Structure 1
Amino acid sequence: MKVLELLAKHPTERLSLARIVREAGLSRATAHAVLTQLTADGWTVRDDDSCYGIGLGLLTVARRAEAGFPLRRVAAPHLRALAQRTGDPVFLAERDGDSIVVTEVVGHPSAGWIRPGRRLPLAPPVCREFVSWAPESERAAWLAAADPAHRERLARVLTEIRARGYSVERLVDDSTPVLEALAGLRDSPITETLRAQLGSVITELITIDYLPDELGTQNAVVTIAAPIRDAAGAVVAAVVSCPDTRLSAAELSELGAVTVAAAEAIGATGSGRS
């Protein structure tokens, strides 16, 4: 799996055995044995310079596997249309149990964490659009996991998100580089205590969403996320626009409306509905 994941990150390249050994963290003997078998089975190919790349066997399996995830396929044209209309990068985030996974990205979002396969915990204060339409018991459990200092505001924000149809991520001043550094540390091998402390610091750097009376002439907007719901009304995914700029209240409302429309169009297809 390490070898296949490494090659999949460089689909148009051919990687030398030495590079695979180094980047996959394998011994030369193990890497050579693995690649010999993968190549024999058609999962990888080897060129005349003894460098390796993805084989047709892996491509075939990947295409078959996509049939098990219809939402991404259905959403793709809507995401492209939204990005073309607004000029902003867009991504699809799908719920997977207690996590959110980025499954499709159109354009080049400024935030480094936005990339296919990135997994985020369904934990406060983020992923609000996934919780706002949840049953009261689920919302209460989510709020209970939040920093006590932010619970009252988060409860008001969840109500506001249900009313307007989308969440807004905004940052205080120029804290984006600090947040990305802290987020990277939180994802590294550290103790749960330190992880919780980092989460608290990250929360302190975030002004959670906008309430109606807080909108000014220019408003910092990193992302706008609108829910995709199944037939029962449960939020299974979200369409996320990434303007990462300052918008007037009217511009924010307009971008929110077109993002909601894209999410509703995807949900209306019936794909991804339970």
Structure 2
Amino acid sequence: MTAPGPAAASPPTHRVVQAIELLSRHSGDRLSLARIVRATGMSRATAHAVLTQLCADGWTLRDAEGNYSLGLGLLAVARRADTAFPVRTLALDAMRTLARDQAVPVFLAEREFQGGVRSGRPGNNAAAGDAAMDAIVITEVLGTPSAPWIRPARRMPFAPPVCREFVAWAPESERAAWLAAADPGHRTRLAAVLDAIAARGYSVERLADDSAPMLEALGALRNSPVTDPLRHRLSAMIADLITIDYLPDELGDTNAVVSLAAPIFSPDGPVIASIVACPDANLSAAGLRDLAAATIAAADTVATALRS
């Protein structure tokens, strides 16, 4: 059964989303009704009603044995939806090349602006949006990263200590607001890290495995005002479980690198996405430089395509 999350504003809609997401995660399988019930926590009657309607609309298919899979109707919607994600479309070839040449999983993270601004198509309120309410959305994953939370449609809060490659080149006011949301004991290091990222062109993640579930919990609780004390405690716990990036004098002959992210700049300047390589390995100094150069080149290819 899935872990409980924030209360759904529309439970019937949430059930439809649960069913579609489950089937999409098992796109090569046909799932029985019993398996869908177990995975979603829906009652058998509710799951049957949801899936019957989805089949009627062509979003799912039911075979002769009563098992379910995604339908062509959903594929048509997905293809039309691709136009809303131009960065993903432009990034796929560069990501595939990076994943193949470096033999590492790769994912694309895009900034979702609270004011509805996304993928390099800013509107009138692009600069005026509340960055604290923005999110980072994973829109494509190639390969199998070691961290289970790295999957398409995963949202992460635009909050320290993550999203560093999105903030390193931001205006001073946005950097200051982002730093102000960090644990006070880590603000000095984070400020130095942002400067280092801007100088070298990429961020490095040294996230401890145990902190990934807490990061998910933080994202789920972030927009709930009644949980502010808990949210701040979670933020401090996450900060305690990680070593935030590398400063120049900390890079050695061998460096533990979970992921490495290079920014994609929009034609107007702000960082709107990043390409993230996930070696999850100890890299030599030369290996780290090579991976960084390849990841930056992939991100720059996408930025150039956005300007054309």
Normalised TM-score (structure 2): 0.80
User: Which residue of the partner structure matches residue 217 of structure 1?
Assistant: 253
Q: Aligned-pair distance for 1:66? A: 1.1
User: Which residue of the partner structure matches residue 75 of structure 1?
Assistant: 91
CA offsets 1:112-162 (integer angstroms, 9 cap, x no match)? 221111111111111100001111110010011111111112111111111
C-alpha spacing 1:17/1:250, structure 2 compared with 1 (3 Å): closer
Supply the AA of the counterpart residue of 1:109. P
Give the whole-Å Cα distance in 1 for the aligned partners of 2:81 and 2:156: 22
Give the whole-Å Cα distance in 1 for the aligned partners of 2:210 and 2:33: 37
User: Which residue of the partner structure matches residue 236 of structure 2?
Assistant: 200
Q: Aligned-pair distance for 1:207? A: 1.7
Q: Aligned-pair distance for 1:192? A: 3.7
Structure 2, unmatched stretches of 5+, are: 1-15, 114-133
Q: Aligned-pair distance for 1:61? A: 1.0
Give the whole-Å Cα distance in 1 for the aligned partners of 2:214 and 2:46: 35
- Alignment of 1:115 onto 2:151: yes
Matches within 5 A, 1:46-65: 46-65=62-81
C-alpha spacing 1:18/1:266, structure 2 compared with 1 (3 Å): same
Deviates more, 1:9-18 or 1:60-69: 9-18
Give the whole-Å Cα distance in 1 for the aligned partners of 2:109 and 2:216: 19
Structure 1, unmatched stretches of 5+, are: none
The correspondence for 2:211, drawn from 160, 167, 179, is 179
2:110 is paired with a residue of what secondary structure?
A: strand
User: Which residue of the partner structure matches residue 3 of structure 2?
Assistant: none
CA offsets 1:4-47 (integer angstroms, 9 cap, x no match)? 22222222222222333333333333333333222222222221
User: Which residue of the partner structure matches residue 226 of structure 1?
Assistant: 262
Supply the AA of the counterpart residue of 1:212. P
Contact 2:261–2:277 (8 Å) recurs in 1: yes
C-alpha spacing 1:34/1:213, structure 2 compared with 1 (3 Å): closer
Q: Aligned-pair distance for 1:91? A: 0.9
Give the whole-Å Cα distance in 1 for the aligned partners of 2:294 and 2:256: 18
C-alpha spacing 1:134/1:36, structure 2 compared with 1 (3 Å): same
Contact 2:157–2:219 (8 Å) recurs in 1: no
Amino-acid identity (%):
60
Give the whole-Å Cα distance in 1 for the aligned partners of 2:171 and 2:86: 26
Supply the AA of the counterpart residue of 1:179. S
The correspondence for 1:95, drawn from 103, 106, 111, is 111
Give the whole-Å Cα distance in 2 for the aligned partners of 1:53 and 1:25: 18
Give the whole-Å Cα distance in 2 for the aligned partners of 1:37 and 1:248: 54
Give the whole-Å Cα distance in 1 for the aligned partners of 2:170 and 2:66: 54
C-alpha spacing 1:28/1:184, structure 2 compared with 1 (3 Å): same
- Alignment of 1:124 onto 2:167: no
RMSD in angstroms over aligned alpha carbons? 2.1
- Report the number of matched residues: 268
User: Which residue of the partner structure matches residue 32 of structure 2?
Assistant: 16
Q: Aligned-pair distance for 1:187? A: 5.7
C-alpha spacing 1:19/1:269, structure 2 compared with 1 (3 Å): same
1:100 is paired with a residue of what secondary structure?
A: strand
Supply the AA of the counterpart residue of 2:60. T
C-alpha spacing 1:202/1:56, structure 2 compared with 1 (3 Å): same
Supply the AA of the counterpart residue of 1:257. A
Give the whole-Å Cα distance in 1 for the aligned partners of 2:111 and 2:216: 21
The correspondence for 2:49, drawn from 10, 19, 33, is 33
Supply the AA of the counterpart residue of 1:105. V
Q: Aligned-pair distance for 1:186? A: 4.3
Deviates more, 1:103-112 or 1:242-251: 242-251
1:53 is paired with a residue of what secondary structure?
A: strand
- Alignment of 1:140 onto 2:176: yes
